[in-house]
Copies of this chain bind each other. A is one copy, B any other.
Amino acid sequence: METLSLPPQATQVGLAVDVAAFAMHAGELRVLLVQRGELPHARTWALPGGFVQVGEALHEAALRELGTETTVKLEPRHLEQFYTFGEVNRDPRGRIVSVAHLAVLPHGTVEVAGGGHTLGAAWFPAHTPPTLAFDHAAILDRAIKRLQLRLEYANLALEFLPDTFTLPELQGVYEAILNRPLDKRNFRKRLLAQSILVASGERRSGVGRPAQLYRRAKGTRTAAL
């Protein structure tokens, strides 16, 4: 297929991916950050990311960066590109355009460690992140907005939880992402009306009254736009 050649001006702009990967920890929405080990912005926190390889699809590059910049293998339940950041001076190394991705990691994804070019990796509160390198604060901002949008109509909240979960847990995910409290009765009414949840009959022991366990009904996984 390489019968025609790329014109020279086609290869002067660098193409990267950055990934805003979210998970729930301690009832809070957290985002995965890596501490840069190289200039520019050495020692500051940043979204995991890197350059797209020639034979690699964009989502593959995003997955690879999630895997190599952190030691533990991460298997996102959801991955979608949401915006492409191309300001001319967003990176001091030259003209680099970044296709930003949103990832959702399932419950239990806790241990992460730096790998590759990074000094470390850790989870941070998504709504109150530390100072970030490059334009990553803007990228994170937009990622959260997209996540909030998706929540409303693509059952994305379930991807944060294990296979079985209680309604209060699910409501906690919604509240953590939307960053505001929700009414318990209206929440239950709305969710159950969608009939994407089925009670698994069991109950989970805890401090107060045990909660009904639910799981997602078969065939109700909605594809991302």
Contact = CB atoms under 8 A, between A and B. Distances in A.
A142 B98 CA distance: 21
The 7 closest A-B pairs by CB, nearest first: A10-B14, A58-B86, A4-B93, A6-B94, A13-B15, A84-B84, A10-B51
B57 A88 contact: yes
A12 B54 contact: yes
Interface string A1-36: 111111101111111100000000000000000000
Contacts of A92: 1-4
Nearest to A1: B92
B89 A1 contact: yes
Contacts of A54: 12-13, 94-95
Interface residues of A, number: 41
A93 B5 contact: yes
Nearest to A55: B88
A71 to B, nearest CB: 22
A121 interface: no
A103 interface: no
A51 B4 CA distance: 16
A75 to B, nearest CB: 21
Contacts of A39: 4
A10 B16 contact: yes
